[in-house]
Amino acid sequence: IQFSKTPTNNILTVFKDNSEYVSTKNSLKTLEQAISKAPIGLMIWDENDKLIIASEKTIKAGEDYDFKFTPGASRIEARKVVAKNVVKDEDLSDELWAENAQKEWSGLTGSQIRFRELKNGNVDLIEETRLPDGSGVVFNIDITELKKRETELARFKTSIDNSPIRIMMFDDEGQLI
């Protein structure tokens, strides 16, 4: 509701239905909360590679590496910080790794999935998607425990294959594996 006084001292009352605006505003607030509380690393970047929003998990990871994932943060600067903690070829500098990663991102159309091994032994599954307007979304999932189990199962298989006694395994339906 808006009240305006006319030059002849009359009061003009204007009513505007803003329920659609309120609904949109509430939906955006819900989306912001969902991103913030996501149980994975999640970042949304604008077309200029500036951060729009990040999940709390991403913000915490950034703090561990002395980087602040705040709105407006530079993607290339984030890459430089990550480069210090990534397992990579010894002859590849952090700067060059970050530049290569940024070039790959800049040329991305659609989506890509990759793995990132960190110096602390963690393994991340990264899924990056470029949106039609040039912005992008990045999902970062810690799969360290899955990778450990995968390694343990591979060792188990090797030990069975090399066992001096014959070992047979059956599935739930009694079929030989």
Return d(Cα 88, Cα 83) in angstroms, integer: 8
103-134: per-residue pLDDT in tens? 999 999 999 999 999 999 999 999 999 999 99
Inform me whether the pLDDT recorded for 71 exceeds 90. yes
Return d(Cα 42, Cα 149) in angstroms, integer: 25
Query: Tell me, what amino acid is at 150?
Result: E
Inform me whether the pLDDT recorded for 6 exceeds 90. no
Query: If DSSP codes are grouped into helix, strand and coil, which group holds residue 40?
Result: coil
Residue 141: how many CA atoms within 13 Å on its side-chain side?
10
pTM: 0.76
Most confident of 22-26, 40-44, 92-96, 161-165: 40-44
pLDDT for the residue 149: 94
pLDDT for the residue 1: 73
Separation in Å, CA 62 to CA 57, 58, 78, 139, 141: 9, 6, 8, 14, 14
With CA atoms as reference, report the closest residue to 124 among 158, 152, 147. 147
Token digits for 82? Answer: 């990550």
Token digits for 153? Answer: 């199962």
Inform me whether the pLDDT recorded for 15 exceeds 80. no
Return d(Cα 61, Cα 122) in angstroms, integer: 12
45-56: per-residue pLDDT in tens? 999 999 999 999
Inform me whether the pLDDT recorded for 60 exceeds 80. yes
Query: What's the average model confidence in pLDDT over 13-21?
Result: 82
Q: DSSP secondary structure string, 117-172? A: EBTTS-EEEEEEEE-TTS-EEEEEEE-HHHHHHHHHHHHHHHHHHT-SS----B-T
With CA atoms as reference, report the closest residue to 49 among 109, 124, 135. 135
The answer to which of 1-10, 47-56, 74-83 has the lowest mean pLDDT is: 1-10
